[in-house]
């Protein structure tokens, strides 16, 4: 399953909290595609993913928006 979450209009900590909920729903072979723009989120979310051991790819889309694709553990 692919979970898509556009949090580009939301401010930290809301994207971080909602991402934690999505990560709990993810099963083997699932993906989560997250879009964020808030400076706090762009710093905190990769730290969280590293801490929890998730594999992810991060890319700059435009105007400071970042897309993060997260693989399930």
CA distance 20 to 44: 12
Note down the domain range covering 31.
Answer: 2-71
pTM of the complete model: 0.93
State residue 73's pLDDT score: 77
State residue 63's pLDDT score: 86
Total domains, the chain: 1
pLDDT digits (tens, 9 = 90+) for 6-45: 999 999 999 999 999 999 999 999 999 999 999 999 999 9
Quick one: pLDDT band at residue 67, thresholds 50, 70, 90? very high
CATH number for position 7: 3.30.110.40
């Amino acid at each position: 399953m692919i979970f898509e979450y556009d949090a580009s209009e939301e401010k930290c900590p809301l994207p971080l909290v909602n991402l934690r909920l999505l990560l709990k729903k993810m099963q083997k072979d699932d993906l989560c595609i997250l879009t964020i723009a808030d400076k706090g989120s762009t710093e905190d979310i990769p730290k969280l993913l590293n801490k929890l051991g998730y594999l992810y790819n991060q890319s700059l889309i435009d105007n400071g928006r970042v897309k993060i694709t997260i693989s399930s553990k």
